[in-house]
Chains A and B, each alone.
Chain A
Amino acid sequence: NAGVTQTPKFQVLKTGQSMTLQCAQDMNHNSMYWYRQDPGMGLRLIYYSASEGTTDKGEVPNGYNVSRLNKREFSLRLESAAPSQTSVYFCASSPRSGSFGTNYGYTFGSGTRLTVV
């Protein structure tokens, strides 16, 4: 089925460890996004990539880096994990950023549940 695939689904890290969350979409979407979800705070944008070759900071970028490897893949890296980064991470994609047409709407992956101890 077409969609957004995230790996891994679960991960436990020790404080200071690093890891990369992987995301791939097969819908030929131009824009991709990384969000974190914390209880009572909704979805907060970490980084996004409006198109292949570009990345920009979102609302909560500190402690993260991203790479838009190609049109399909957008990875999120934690260089030195901290307990405050315990969260559920979602990757999403859309046909293009800022579209006012009728084909907007993000498609989300099923999430990566990260615990930093």
Chain B
Amino acid sequence: GQQLNQSPQSMFIQEGEDVSMNCTSSSIFNTWLWYKQDPGEGPVLLIALYKAGELTSNGRLTAQFGITRKDSFLNISASIPSDVGIYFCAGLPVDQGGKLIFGQGTELSVKP
């Protein structure tokens, strides 16, 4: 089936550092979403992107919908310990009947 390639798979950073992760696909997507999963919980929506080129912020988080509609990135500025978790990208392909496709996740660890 169709897949999203999310990278990196894991990151170990120092508190205060900036973080960047991205997702790419071989197909065009209509929507890009970024989720965060805290340990023992379900994913929670962070940012939703609906138009190519769109740049959206949510506090210290910024995400962009790539111009080619085949990629998206998420940046976290000035990381803090509570940023720890797994971040998932998700995309809505043009030809998948409205079902989201999820990336493999980026596990973020923040050292105080």
Binding site for B on A (CB under 8 A): 4, 31, 33, 35, 40-45, 48, 50, 56, 58-59, 90, 92, 96-102, 104-111
Q: Are B97 and A98 in contact (CB under 8 A)?
A: yes
Flag the segment in B12-20, B43-51, B76-84 that touches A. Answer: B43-51
Within 8 A of A (CB), among B1-41: 1, 4, 6, 9, 30-31, 33, 35, 40-41
B100 CB within 8 Å of chain A = yes
Taking a contact as CB atoms closer than 8 A, the residue among A43, A44, A100, A102 that contacts B43 in the complex is A43
Q: Which residues of B contact A109 (CB under 8 A)?
A: 42
Taking a contact as CB atoms closer than 8 A, the residue among B1, B9, B97 that contacts A97 in the complex is B97
Contact status of A110 and B41, CB under 8 A, knowing A40-B104, A100-B30:
yes
Distance between B101 CB and nearest chain A CB, rounded to angstroms: 8
Q: Are A106 and B100 in contact (CB under 8 A)?
A: yes
Q: Which residues of B contact A105 (CB under 8 A)?
A: 33, 45, 48
Q: Which of A33, A42, A107 has the most CB of B within 10 A?
A: A42
Distance between A62 CB and nearest chain B CB, rounded to angstroms: 14
Known: A33-B99, A98-B98, A106-B43. 8 other contacts (CB 8 A): A50-B97, A90-B43, A102-B50, A104-B33, A106-B100, A108-B35, A108-B44, A111-B42
Contact status of A106 and B45, CB under 8 A, knowing A42-B104, A100-B30, A100-B31:
yes
Report how far A90 CA is from B41 CA in the complex, Å. 10
Report how far A38 CA is from B98 CA in the complex, Å. 23
Closest to B105 in A: A42
Contact status of A108 and B43, CB under 8 A, knowing A42-B102, A48-B99, A99-B98:
yes
Distance between A23 CB and nearest chain B CB, rounded to angstroms: 11
Q: Are B88 and A43 in contact (CB under 8 A)?
A: yes
Closest 6 CB pairs of A and B: A98-B98, A108-B42, A97-B98, A43-B102, A42-B104, A105-B45
B85 CB within 8 Å of chain A = no
Closest to A103 in B: B48
B103 CB within 8 Å of chain A = yes
Report how far A106 CA is from B99 CA in the complex, Å. 10
